[in-house]
Amino acid sequence: MTTTTAAPPQATRARGANAATPRKRRGVEGIYYVFLLPSLIIFTLAITVPAVIGIFFSFTNSIGFGDWEFVGLINYVAMFSDPAILQSYFFTFGFATVTVILVNAIAFLLAVGLTAQIKIKTGLRTIFVIPMVVSGIIIAYVFNFLFSNSVPAAGQALGIDALSESILANPDLAWVGIVIVTAWQAIPGTLLIYIAGLLSIPSEVYEAADLDGAGKWQQLLRITVPLVAGYIVINVILGFKNFLNAYDVIVGLTNGGPGTATRSIPMTIVTGFTGGDYAYQMANATMFFVIVVVISLIQLRLTRGRNAR
């Protein structure tokens, strides 16, 4: 016969009291505020306060100095019928879309090759990330010389009419040069993220696929791409936001020309600030800020969903 011994009432009450008593949360030590407050104050004074002031002046007719009057939504309404503003948005979003597709396609293929079993992959990785550490404006001036002098000279020597003139001087083709240079500089950063994603895939997955008779293309499409889908989402969204803010490369290559064919939204805003359209371009900047925030929220939603899976 088995005898069950009941726990003493005092012990039961003690355990119940301990379970009912919430654990005291450890407070934040003061040293953290010492490091946080200076950065918070600087960020507020340098970023938040000027942004709020700028948004306020977007509802006025201020030219950046002197007297001003409150005009309400007039600046915002005028933007939707301004050909220069509409052209800058059309160019910027078209350029960003084409560039993000090109950058991610090339970077992904390079990442697959640089994570393969080749002897010189370490050296190649070093070479491919060099453009990332060079200033964008320097890269733009170098390619400006190539597109304006070296390429036309080579085209004339080879008798290729399509290359005999600088594409930067052609309103219909100047954007191609900007896409090429921007992609050349952006591919290394995207490449590193893809390499990290590919290296996180367990080798056992590919070994199992080999045993099942899956070829390299099947492994790429059915294993690699689905497992790095989260990295693809991150690269696409981050790249799109970065390309929307393109400025230095465009300044160094075309300065928004020929005419205004390659003038981006940031260039339009900066040009307006120096040209007496402070309030009007501040409204443009506010609208652009809202668009970027929406894209950031989409990024957060997509990345959260991907992590949840």
- Does residue 286 fall inside a structural domain? yes
Question: What are the contacts of 25-28 at 24+ separation with CB within 8 A?
Answer: none
- Does residue 13 fall inside a structural domain? no
- Does residue 183 fall inside a structural domain? yes
- Does residue 225 fall inside a structural domain? yes
Query: Which two tokens mark 18?
Result: 């301990």
- Does residue 97 fall inside a structural domain? yes
Q: Which residue segment(s) compose the domain that 280 sits in?
A: 84-308
CA atoms of 250 and 40, how far apart (whole Å): 33
The answer to whether 112 and 219 have CB atoms below 8 angstroms apart is no
C-alpha distance across the termini of the chain, in Å? 52
CATH assignment of the domain containing 156: 1.10.3720.10
Residues 6+ apart with CB under 8 A from 177: 143, 147, 167, 168, 253, 254
- Does residue 53 fall inside a structural domain? no
One digit per residue, pLDDT tens: the chain, 309 residues? 445 555 555 555 555 555 555 565 666 777 888 888 988 999 899 888 988 999 999 999 888 888 888 998 999 999 988 999 999 999 999 999 999 999 999 999 988 888 877 777 667 777 777 787 788 889 999 999 999 999 899 988 888 888 888 899 999 999 999 999 999 999 999 999 999 898 888 888 888 888 888 888 888 888 888 899 889 988 988 899 899 998 999 999 999 989 889 999 999 998 888 777 889 999 999 999 998 888 878 877 776 655 444
* Predicted TM-score (pTM) of this structure: 0.81
- Does residue 42 fall inside a structural domain? no
If one counts the domains in the chain, the total is 1
